Structure 1
Amino acid sequence: MKAMRWIAVLLLGGLALAQTLRLEQGWVRRVPGDITAAYLVLYNPTDRPVRIVGASTPIATRVEFHQTTHAGHGDHQDVSAMKRMEALVVPARGRLEVLPGKYHLMLYGLRQKNPRPLAEGQKVPLTLRLEDGATLTLTLTVETR
């Protein structure tokens, strides 16, 4: 019986963390091809960091976390590359900015899941999976930016 209570406390605690993350902005880039990116800003008002370990959406076959890196010399940071990340962390009482030129979510396989091109203004559900097993589903809008 104690084990069942402990599991319930863990599950409810994870759910509470997921529910406290707030989406401040978010969108999916409108593109004609099979791959696109999603961007968002999340705020965590709690005193504990929240680790995001996975994501999914019904419009893509897979979602990966990436970080844009820049290389070059001095003021000439002219070479960009993407580095795949295993997780993203929303700091305690802080923001995670998943924005162009920083972190981003790559959405692959759009045509297999969503045969028509993404439409401006289309609503896209995106589910984030947290390290503690909780999930958070956000709604992002397709935009040309």
Structure 2
Amino acid sequence: MEEGTDSVRESILRLLLIRYGLPRPVVNYPLVLPDGTLVFLDIAFPDARVDVEYDGRFHQNQWAQDAQRRLAIELAGWAYVQVTDEALATKDACRQIAELVARYLKERTGNDYLRDEPFDLRAVADGRRKGWKRR
């Protein structure tokens, strides 16, 4: 689906955002934090400094470490959206994720990308994306 993606669920999340009209994000974006630490952001919109992180079941055992990482990313000026399996479970929950990310993008760029209805996957895959314009 995308070279460098770490998991199927990250790919599903990335496609969800694209289906709702958001611009194509960068996967595994390298970010050097102010203290010199290098972290890789799951799904990033670098121009807007918006980070979307998928935290699967593996992350249950490292919540303290993940909280510190999130704090460092936010202190570096990035908006941070955490997504879990539960957040991808229903159509309404998926819409809420897209709305939140779109809100951050709009606040930081002035561009409203969010579509009322998601694109069909075929339209995303073959690049037709009719109506793929900022509002």
TM-score, normalised by the number of residues in structure 1: 0.24
Choose 1 or 2 for highest CA Rg. 1
Structure with greater helix percent: 2
| Structure with a larger share of its residues in strand | 1
